[in-house]
Structure 1
């Protein structure tokens, strides 16, 4: 009994330590500048002025639509490309297959900053600077999605694929009509991780996008916070950060069960 009490006490403390900063941030965004020093969970001098100021000073609605477009399209491309490559690595025998797989694993250990300059030079050479292509194409193939799809496809019985081939199904139909519907937790995991990564990406857009009409929400919020438009108003900066975080929180709340299930069952298999 005492062990259970201790376990649940530690879990509650851990959960509180994670959720408290976000609740405080939400509360601070609804407080006046005078109330920001209070570490309370309820707004001090409740006001909507911080959010009104954000929408007044920057085109956040346009940036939101840009982020949705870029994140949705990139996530779709990652799912398609990851499923195709993962299927090839899981179910096809060809020379160099294992080498390609290990190179993909190795690329996951490289921080994005290492390839930042080569990628930027490529965007300049292709004339994609200040276009949506610069925000989408470099992220259209994701190593983690390939790994997760490969592991998921390997867990499915070979008889499923053989039956589809006997019915005259082509490779693309096997992937997207037969296999993908059977690994939906993996699809949802990749969707959430990719969408979160693209939605929160600020460094790359800051480098390749200069036209405000094409800027994403994280980029615009970053420039707003450090570029002077917020006029050193901390509450306004916090309000902008809350608006940036809310879509991700909502997405995770809807799909957290599938996300946790897939991550728990995505062990490495040969």
Structure 2
């Protein structure tokens, strides 16, 4: 490739990075401004206009730490359930022979085209009225406990594991759970991390379901608390623009940090390289 092509590619990548990162930069700068400036010039403010008062203002209204804890419990519970059920179902679909396996996998694929909003009303009736789990962490987590995407990912990874490994272990007397724990899971660690990272973003940013199922402010994730602040309190705040952006920065920070730390793990490794010929 010629030098001109390298320069052109660098310019295009730099321009794309600027377009992608500018909203994040603008959000951080806006959260630090004492006096709001929604114009383009506000992206380059006077340093004398920068302060942390907006973070103190939003924290005094909704409790940023409590919102983060609630979001963490919600996201953590969903991740644990997703990994647990995803591994079990994915292993069963890939390595076990049983009647209805093909139909079950077809249903897992079919669920992908059904929007969650279509199921929200019956789920709310089931969770809130029948199970009595409104205003609880379990009520928030249960509808997301089984993720068909995670099932499909684990199934595809388990299919790549040579069957000879399982056959040899079965001959030695190992049960299916022993096979899963000792052989299958260590060989699909990239899938585990991928599922965790992909699953985290959904519940961490989820607004509609926690908003429906929780009325207690002390249980609401940060995304719901920010929405309530925007609709109920922001009109009376001294700098609602800066306070909302401050809350958005706190909400986005964990997701951005996790992506920066683990982005290279999105690329799966070759499972076959761990098996000697």
Q: TM-score, normalised by structure 2?
A: 0.89
Taking the aligned partners of 2:269 and 2:56, their CA distance within structure 1 comes to 39
Report what 2:18 is aligned to.
16
Decide whether the 8 Å contact of 2:95 with 2:159 is kept in 1: yes
2:90 paired residue among 86, 93, 105: 86
Q: Does the aligned pair in 2 maintain the 1:217–1:244 contact within 8 Å?
A: yes
Which of 122, 128, 136 is the matching residue for 2:141?
Answer: 136
Q: Does the 8 Å CA contact 1:23/1:41 hold for their aligned counterparts?
A: no
Q: For this pair of structures, how many residues does the alignment match?
A: 264
CA distance in 2 between counterparts of 1:263 and 1:219 reads 37
| Post-superposition CA distance 1:93-146 (Å, at most 9, x none) | 222211211111111111110101110010121111111111111111001100
* Structure number with larger C-alpha Rg: 2
Report if the CA contact (8 A) 1:131-1:214 is conserved.
yes
Query: RMSD value over aligned CA atoms?
Result: 2.0
Contact 2:36 2:241 in 1 (8 A): no
SS of the equivalent of 1:33 reads coil
Alignment of 1:183-222 (within 5 A): 183-222=188-227
Per-residue deviation at 1:79?
0.3
Gaps of 5+ in 1: 266-270
The equivalent of 2:159 in structure 1 is 154
Q: 1:114, 1:72 → 2: CA distance? A: 25
Distance 1:83 1:162, change over 3 A: same
Residue 110 of structure 1 is matched in structure 2 by: 114
Residue 268 of structure 1 corresponds to which residue in structure 2?
none
Given the alignment, which residue of 174, 179, 182 partners 2:179? 174
Task: Point out where structure 2 has 5 or more consecutive residues left out of the alignment.
Answer: 272-277
How far, CA to CA, are the matches of 1:242 and 1:43 in structure 2?
Answer: 20
Asked if structure 2 preserves the Cα contact closer than 8 Å seen for 1:26 and 1:242, the reply is yes
